[in-house]
Amino acid sequence: MINPIAVLVEDDLQQSEVSKGVLESARFDVRVFDSIAPALEYLRASDELIDLFVLDRRLPVNAGEPATDELGDELLKEIRASHKDARLIVFTGYADVRHVQAALQGGGQLPMQSGQPIDRITVLEKDQSIEFRLIVSEFRQLLQTLEDIEISTSEGSHSLSYLDKRVLRRLAFEYHAVSISVVSLGGGLTGASVWKCELARQEGHIATIVAKRVKEFNPMGGLPDLMPRANTTSTMATLSGLMGGNYISVLQIAGDSPRALMTLLVEDPVKAVELACPVWTALHTVASQRQSLSIAEICKSLINWDEIAARLDPYGIEVPAGTLNATTRIGIRHGDLHPGNLLVDNDQAVLIDFDSSTFAAGLLDPVTMLISTLVHPDSPIRGSCWPDTAEVTERFGTADFGLGHGCEAWFQGVYKWIRESRTSDREFWALVLAYSARQLGYQDVLADPAVVDRVVAIARRAADVLAAT
């Protein structure tokens, strides 16, 4: 069992030892700092899930330097922004209590299962040791309630990180469940995860839901409201608090056994196309405006054009000027479309992920669908012997790409969507080049030489065709 983490920043050695003892007695792992600079260095470099901060308001930048309230306030301001749902306890002098309390209004609340939610930020005087112990103890009991929730995964499911487990326990906590059984349904470029969740209380099963971990709260509206309801999902609730600043969205799903379309690519590619086509059609019919833009402008939703050149230069690929003009159709797009973002629900495919929605070229979604099939970590054909460099050089971007392959029907279906959405050749090849270069920024791609070779071959073909247009 991993203890939750608390960060203590206190320049008074005696007070630091007392506070550390209280935190350790409550079974926190404590990271102790005596000044602002080393604390910020740790926070900016660490990816640890921090649940509690205990801060003195009067602090120095470095040990031995003058300490001021203003410096401590700056640290508090940064922590409030970077750790949006951690618990904060701030120690200050008696005369400053009301001032600090007023300044911290709007700090937010953390969830409780019964009674009122708890304030995220508490201000204490230095002599309120009893109150400090009580607050720490109560908060640790809340975290223990989360840890007590059992998580089970199906055999062969993706392993869960500590953050994943916390997010799932937070979801179960919301439903007063004591156990949660999860099956991974895939994830996206945003680092999000999607799960089918079975929730149970002591008396038995209470709900089957699909949940998605997201990094930002997405308000209602946007692309889902522009598409037919049959082709997309709606968000029933978005939960926050005690998840390292993440959110979890509960999605409205009709079927009992949803699964990612990605699983059908090899199993039944014809069925995969049949299910995906209505979604592709719905995306294609979203309103857009015909424009003539530079290819750098067309691709900016994916990557800065200068970044493309920097990533492809080590592979000897000469990137054409981003000032080349191309015709496109600009409208709201999904932005991160791949087979894992289509969920098969009651024998119908629906979109489940809108975190990357953006105004962009009409070919953005078809291009990401095509290339992600080859490079996405969940794709069943990633890293296979096909396509090799020769296949990419001779056929990528044409109707012949994929002929004779086991997934031929899938690639033929995606190419048909590309042909229907294509406004100009430059638009297509610029997006192919940009998306390929973007892939070379992901560690899971760079760690797989076969995938790197495939991506570089696609980028080289795109650069060559663009140079000839």
Q: Kindly compute the dihedral angle of the four CA atoms of residues 22, 23, 25, 29, in this order, to the nearest 10 degrees.
A: -160
**What digits encode the pLDDT tens for the residues 389-421?**
899 999 999 999 999 999 999 999 999 999 999
Write down the pLDDT at residue 188: 44
Kindly state the average pLDDT of the residues 186-215.
Answer: 79
% the chain with pLDDT above 70: 92
Does the pLDDT value for residue 115 go beyond 80? no
Half-sphere exposure of 23 (CA within 13 A, CB side): 25
Tell me the percentage of the chain whose pLDDT exceeds 90.
66
Q: Are 104 and 77 in contact (CB under 8 A)?
A: no
pLDDT of residue 217: 67
355 token code pair? 């975190």
pLDDT digits (tens, 9 = 90+) for 263-309: 899 999 999 999 999 999 999 888 899 999 999 999 999 999 999 99
> Per residue in 334-357, is it b (16+ CB within 10 Å) or e — as a string?
bbbbbbbbbbbbeeebbbbbbbbb
Peptide bond into 269 cis (omega under 30): no
Q: If one looks up domain 5-142 in CATH, what number appears? A: 3.40.50.2300
- In the chain, what are the domain boundaries? 5-142, 149-251, 259-468
- State which fold the 259-468 domain adopts: Aminoglycoside 3'-phosphotransferase; Chain: A, domain 2 (3.90.1200)
Separation between Cα atoms, residue 197 and residue 211, nearest integer Å: 7
What tens digit of pLDDT does each residue of 449-459 get? Answer: 999 999 999 99
Q: How far is CA 422 from CA 324, 349, 367, 378, 428, in A?
A: 17, 23, 10, 27, 7
Residue 31 near residue 7 (C-beta atoms within 8 A): yes
Q: What is the pLDDT of residue 190?
A: 43
Lowest mean pLDDT among 150-154, 367-371, 412-416: 150-154
pTM of the complete model? 0.72
Q: Greater confidence, 271 or 158?
A: 271
Quote the strand ranges of 3-110, DSSP E: 5-9, 29-33, 50-56, 87-92, 109-110
- Is 5-142's fold the same as 259-468's? no
